[in-house]
């Protein structure tokens, strides 16, 4: 399958840009990129994992980024590079240059007269409320909502259907993907005779630079103080971060993770998919939690942690579960 | 409670349409449908599961779809059919005929001049970008966003708040429910000294015919090649499908499921609610995974698989968990 | 950090409103609120949990709500109250008075001529369909969608990006947070030779008074009868409630919970984060389920229930999992 590039480049120029050694015709033009599995004649692809050796051999007609040690795996056009994976990612940036942000407000947008949007692109059906500030080079896509008093730095991107509530401040170069909601009320209630009574949530959300928030993820505003997301934090889709969490710099959070209120997660942590973190606990820096685990107490030693019921045939599971249940009596 | 029908039908005509035997007055008119639990006088209902025998007897005044073997369970109006459940579903289609799609673009929509929307209904506050293609008979509901270059076939429906990104292609008769996001960037980053560096996601999403995507579900675009969803795949709400997954034809995925990157799931599989599938693994055809299980390794034999910690009183759980923990020392 | 108040109040007036004893200068003005951890000079804060004693001492310059027994913990301005936590919540309502709803329809909204919106505020890019009814004092935020025939009572709030489908009825004082979808089709299909065949979902959603629905949560319409949410139910973010569930009054449901079809949950229950409830089962009143547990069978005795695999180092987990697997053979 692969994908046609937006900006075709001659192989010679690409080799130069990537600082790679070229074997073959410098005048050939890269018009498509593909994974090894689907690479056709002339497609740019890369080989860096010996597991894919057979696929590399099958993809003989492609332009292959390879390590020096693998230079003879095919005989066609090759670019020799010590880190083919990284070089390929760099090539993508040349072959698919970012769309230029055009500083203009669509006549179909709704932008309050007191909002600051100079240098930003505001698309059709984007809403920007009173006193909101959007930095230069930022783009607000169709159907994104930036509520009053929300702020973001330069070169941010807020995708369609995303909602940024009042009291949210984003740094520079943040990407908020479609449908993400930042700054909705935290889940704060007090029991009373008449039932649950809502506690006003008056804190904000403070987000650093270079943060990505995935599609349909949610980050609640703080109850009193702010919810805080550090620099370089990467958040995948459908992640829920409750009020007053603190997420340390450069932590990566995979899809479907839930983090309950006031949890503090360190720097450079990695939470696998669907990890759940109980509230009011602390995870230190450099912790890796395996996907599907529930973190119910604080972790103060870096390392990998896991807690997953092993999957098996339903018949065997019935045995295991029955035995476990007996051990609780 | 039940529901008033949009198109009242005489019982005689309904019996004919369903190829059912009628016991009772052919001129009675069906004005409401109900489950057995709430069926009132004259409501259409059905009885097919012996568990609900008492409810059927209580619902004596309704118009009951029943099997021949159960024909004497009530004495009122009955429609005898070998599969009452299926016949009831068929009756719903007659009693609640689909709203006709009206080929027109709302003056409150934003449709790019280069988009192809002939024969489609584009509602108020729908956005359709440059070169997007929407087949005849399709309906784009209020606040749906179809980005540039996205394509869909005929008779599709995209509900409010859903976002279809560039590079997404849907077949015919697909339904994308409210708030679903298709084609947002996959979660692709490379570690670097300055932190996580985004890897451009240039693949698309290729979706077959007759696919349903549930409310607030997300399907990411591929990193290089496409994410692929087969024909007849049914996806419930709040499901996350990461970049480069392949989902085989007619697989059904229940709510809150997460599927990590590059997983390949076979045909006719059924994933129960909240199942999590780890990335880069393969599940063969005809696998059933019980709700709440985590699939951490490939499955190559059809059958049912389970891995869930059995729930118990908190007190017993403390015993079981302590014993389990000791077994790890 | 803390937060500047919208409506500064003199401490003397606040003491009176809260029925608290004042120690110190009645003329001081509250301009900010903070948690104890971040409270600066003059900020209103509260101390009610002995765990935070050290923080209270450090926050010596703030205006502190304390119990009589703790009155000497600091020497500055104090408000003595038997329940500092509750009094603080009450103070928030004075310091951050709710924005007044202004009965008007934005010229940038799309409101059908047959809709009833008298006394409601309909913001820019809000959509209100034919015959929809919105009670007085309600506010429909930018980019919210209220489909035809949907109804809500007085003093409701529907936030940006939320979608209310036809057949949904909300009571008074409900809050639907951003991106929530209420009334999308339930996941109902029948197997056929040609694959899954959609069963029309014709039920509605019946929601009581004082219900909160969190950001990006989803509540499906019933298959035939309604899905029912009782009075005072509080639902956090990213919760999925499938067709025909019944949720009893005053039950609280934390983030990322999934409840499968036709489950019946009692009154005053509390479901922790990421709890999953299998379909067609019953949970009685006053049940607490610990976060991360899967409820796979009915619960008929009030109390706390848990079923979570204990997290541990990955190395220990390997031992535990291997031992568990052997016990299934």
Is A86 in Cβ contact with B226 (below 8 Å)? no
**Which residues numbered 113-142 in A keep a CB inside 8 Å of some CB on B?**
124-125, 142
Residue pair C122/C140 in contact by the 8 Å Cβ criterion: yes
Poorest-pLDDT segment among B113-117, B152-156, C13-17, C61-65: C61-65
pLDDT confidence of residue C14: 97
The answer to whether residue A33 neighbours chain B at the CB level (below 8 Å) is yes
Active site residue B243: yes
Q: Please spell the DSSP secondary structure of B45-93, one letter per residue.
A: EEE--GGGHHHHHHTTTSEEEE-GGGTTS-SS-EEE-S-HHHHHHHHHH
Residue B163: list chain A partners with CB under 8 A. Answer: 143, 159-161, 178-179, 215
Of B190, B294, B303, the CB nearest to A86: B190
Q: Say if residue A173 is exposed, middle or buried (CB neighbours under 10 Å; 0-12, 13-18, 19+).
A: buried
User: Which pLDDT band holds residue B5 (cuts at 50, 70, 90)?
Assistant: very high
Is the pLDDT score of A132 beyond 90? Answer: yes
DSSP reduced 3-state for C168: strand
The answer to whether residue B110 neighbours chain C at the CB level (below 8 Å) is no
pLDDT in tens, B144-192: 999 999 999 999 999 999 999 999 999 999 999 999 999 999 999 999 9
User: Which pLDDT band holds residue A1 (cuts at 50, 70, 90)?
Assistant: low
Of A225, A242, A305, the CB nearest to C1: A225
The answer to whether residue B230 neighbours chain C at the CB level (below 8 Å) is no
Q: Which of A79, A100, A97 is nearest to A5 (CA)?
A: A97
Is the pLDDT score of B143 beyond 90? Answer: yes
Is the pLDDT score of C196 beyond 70? Answer: yes
- Among all residues of chain B, which has the CA nearest to that of C295? B311
pLDDT in tens, C161-193: 999 999 999 999 999 999 999 999 999 999 999
pLDDT confidence of residue B298: 97
Domain A162-305 CATH class label: mainly beta
| Averaged pLDDT for residues A247-264 | 98
- In chain A, what is the straight-line distance between the N-terminal and C-terminal CA atoms, in Å? 57
Alpha-helical regions (H) of chain A? 11-18, 53-58, 84-95, 314-326
Is the pLDDT score of C41 beyond 80? Answer: yes
The answer to whether residue A329 neighbours chain B at the CB level (below 8 Å) is yes
How far apart, in whole angstroms, are the C-alpha atoms of residue C197 and residue B86?
Answer: 10
Q: Which of B303, B72, C234 is nearest to A313 (CA)?
A: B303
The answer to whether residue B227 neighbours chain C at the CB level (below 8 Å) is no
Q: Say if residue C8 is exposed, middle or buried (CB neighbours under 10 Å; 0-12, 13-18, 19+).
A: exposed
Total Cβ atoms within 10 A of residue B41: 11
| Averaged pLDDT for residues B1-16 | 92
Query: What does the block give as tokens for A167?
Result: 């009291």
Pairing of strands B294-295, B276-277: parallel
Query: What does the block give as tokens for B290?
Result: 């019980």
Is C311 in Cβ contact with A296 (below 8 Å)? yes
Residue pair C204/C185 in contact by the 8 Å Cβ criterion: no
Cα distances from B73 to residues B29, B44, B56, B76, in angstroms, run 22, 15, 7, 9
At residue A229, φ and ψ (nearest 5 deg) are -120, 120
Q: Which one of A145, A203, A300 makes the best mutation probe of the C interface by having the most chain C beta carbons within 10 Å?
A: A145
**Share of residues in chain B with pLDDT > 90 (%):** 90
Q: Which one of B45, B59, B143, B294 makes the best mutation probe of the C interface by having the most chain C beta carbons within 10 Å?
A: B143
Residue pair B159/B177 in contact by the 8 Å Cβ criterion: yes
How far apart, in whole angstroms, are the C-alpha atoms of residue C248 and residue C261?
Answer: 15
Query: What does the block give as tokens for A89?
Result: 């990612």
Which secondary structure element, helix H or strand E, spans residue C90, and what is its range? Answer: helix C84-95
Q: What is the CA radius of gyration of chain A?
A: 25
User: Which pLDDT band holds residue C328 (cuts at 50, 70, 90)?
Assistant: confident
* C18 half-sphere exposure, CB direction, 13 A CA radius: 30
The answer to whether residue A149 neighbours chain B at the CB level (below 8 Å) is no
Residues of A annotated as catalytic are 243
Q: Which one of A46, A212, A236, A305 makes the best mutation probe of the B interface by having the most chain B beta carbons within 10 Å?
A: A236
What's the per-residue H, E or C state across C120-159? CEECCCCEECCCCEECCCCEECCCCEECCCCEECCCCEEC
The answer to whether residue A42 neighbours chain B at the CB level (below 8 Å) is no
- Among all residues of chain C, which has the CA nearest to that of A194? C232
How far apart, in whole angstroms, are the C-alpha atoms of residue B308 and residue B33?
Answer: 38
The answer to whether residue A278 neighbours chain C at the CB level (below 8 Å) is yes
Which secondary structure element, helix H or strand E, spans residue C222, and what is its range? Answer: none
| Averaged pLDDT for residues B13-42 | 94
Which DSSP category does B116 fall into? Answer: B
pLDDT in tens, A36-50: 989 988 899 999 888
Residue pair B284/B210 in contact by the 8 Å Cβ criterion: no
Choose, from C81, C177, C243, C250, the residue flagged as catalytic. Answer: C243
- Among all residues of chain A, which has the CA nearest to that of C311? A307
Helix axes A314-326, C314-326, angle to 10 degrees: 100
Place of tokens 């459908």: A238
How far apart, in whole angstroms, are the C-alpha atoms of residue C5 and residue C31?
Answer: 6
Q: Say if residue C281 is exposed, middle or buried (CB neighbours under 10 Å; 0-12, 13-18, 19+).
A: middle
pLDDT in tens, B67-88: 999 999 988 899 999 999 999 9
Residue C289: list chain B partners with CB under 8 A. Answer: 311
Residue pair A281/A297 in contact by the 8 Å Cβ criterion: yes
Is C249 in Cβ contact with A195 (below 8 Å)? yes
At residue B165, φ and ψ (nearest 5 deg) are -85, 165
Q: Taking the domain B3-95, which CATH number applies?
A: 3.40.1390.10
User: Which pLDDT band holds residue A60 (cuts at 50, 70, 90)?
Assistant: confident
Of A231, A252, A325, the CB nearest to B189: A252
How far apart, in whole angstroms, are the C-alpha atoms of residue A253 and residue A257?
Answer: 7
pLDDT confidence of residue B1: 63
Q: Which of B253, A4, A194, A239 is nearest to C250 (CA)?
A: A194
Residue C256: list chain A partners with CB under 8 A. Answer: 240, 256, 258, 276
How far apart, in whole angstroms, are the C-alpha atoms of residue A121 and residue A138?
Answer: 6
Q: How far does the CA of residue C69 sit from the closest CA of chain B (Å)?
A: 34
In chain C, what are the domain boundaries? 3-95, 162-305
Residues 6+ apart with CB under 8 A from B193: none
| Averaged pLDDT for residues B7-22 | 97
Count how many pairs of residues, chain A against chain C, have C-beta atoms within 8 Å.
Answer: 201
How far apart, in whole angstroms, are the C-alpha atoms of residue A122 and residue A209?
Answer: 21
pLDDT in tens, C85-130: 999 999 999 999 999 999 999 999 999 999 999 999 999 999 999 9
DSSP reduced 3-state for B184: strand
- In chain C, what is the straight-line distance between the N-terminal and C-terminal CA atoms, in Å? 57
At residue C294, φ and ψ (nearest 5 deg) are -110, 125
The answer to whether residue C178 neighbours chain A at the CB level (below 8 Å) is yes
The answer to whether residue B194 neighbours chain C at the CB level (below 8 Å) is no
Which DSSP category does A98 fall into? Answer: P
Residue pair B242/B224 in contact by the 8 Å Cβ criterion: no
Is the pLDDT score of A210 beyond 80? Answer: yes
Residue pair B133/B153 in contact by the 8 Å Cβ criterion: no
Q: How far does the CA of residue B85 sit from the closest CA of chain A (Å)?
A: 28
DSSP reduced 3-state for A12: helix
- Among all residues of chain C, which has the CA nearest to that of A317? C328
How far apart, in whole angstroms, are the C-alpha atoms of residue A45 and residue A84?
Answer: 9
Q: How far does the CA of residue B258 sit from the closest CA of chain A (Å)?
A: 7
Is A324 in Cβ contact with C324 (below 8 Å)? yes
How far apart, in whole angstroms, are the C-alpha atoms of residue B322 and residue A176?
Answer: 42
Q: Say if residue B197 is exposed, middle or buried (CB neighbours under 10 Å; 0-12, 13-18, 19+).
A: middle
Is B305 in Cβ contact with A310 (below 8 Å)? no
Is the pLDDT score of C1 beyond 70? Answer: no
pLDDT in tens, C225-282: 999 999 999 999 999 999 999 999 999 999 999 999 999 999 999 999 999 999 999 9
Residue pair C237/C218 in contact by the 8 Å Cβ criterion: no
Q: Which of C109, A179, A125, C180 is nearest to B126 (CA)?
A: A125
- Among all residues of chain B, which has the CA nearest to that of C225? B2
Statement: the pTM of the whole predicted model exceeds 0.95: yes
Helix axes C314-326, B314-326, angle to 10 degrees: 100
Choose, from B159, B243, B246, B250, the residue flagged as catalytic. Answer: B243
């Amino acid at each position: 399958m692969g994908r046609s590039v937006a900006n075709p480049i001659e192989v010679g120029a690409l080799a130069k840009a990537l600082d790679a050694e070229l074997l073959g015709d410098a005048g050939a033009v890269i018009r498509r990129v593909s994974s090894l599995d689907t690479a056709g004649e002339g497609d740019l692809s890369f080989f860096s994992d010996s597991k894919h050796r057979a696929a590399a051999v099958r993809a003989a007609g492609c332009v292959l980024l390879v390590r020096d040690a693998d230079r003879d795996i095919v005989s066609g056009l090759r670019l020799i590079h010590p880190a083919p994976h990284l070089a390929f990612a760099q090539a993508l940036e040349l072959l698919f240059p970012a769309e230029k942000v055009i500083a203009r407000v669509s006549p179909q947008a709704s932008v309050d007269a007191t909002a600051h949007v100079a240098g930003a692109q505001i698309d059709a059906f984007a809403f920007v409320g009173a006193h909101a500030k959007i930095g230069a080079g930022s783009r607000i896509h169709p159907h994104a909502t930036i509520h009053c008093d929300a702020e973001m730095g330069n070169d941010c991107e807020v995708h369609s259907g995303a909602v940024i509530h009042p009291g949210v401040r984003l740094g520079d170069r943040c990407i908020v993907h479609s449908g993400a909601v930042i700054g909705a009320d935290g889940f704060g209630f007090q029991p009373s005779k008449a039932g649950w009574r809502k506690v006003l949530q008056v804190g904000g959300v403070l987000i650093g630079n270079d943060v990505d928030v995935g599609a349909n993820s949610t980050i609640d505003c703080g109850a009193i103080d702010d919810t805080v997301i550090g620099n370089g934090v990467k958040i995948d889709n459908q992640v829920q971060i409750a009020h007053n969490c603190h997420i340390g710099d450069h932590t990566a959070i995979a899809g479907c993770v839930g983090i309950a209120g006031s949890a503090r997660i360190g720097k450079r942590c990695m939470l696998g998919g669907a990890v759940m973190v109980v509230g009011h606990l602390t995870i230190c820096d450099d912790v890796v939690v395996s996907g599907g685990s529930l973190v119910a107490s604080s972790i103060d030693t870096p390392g990998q942690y896991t807690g997953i019921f092993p999957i098996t045939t339903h018949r065997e599971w019935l045995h295991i579960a029955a035995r476990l249940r007996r051990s609780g009596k």
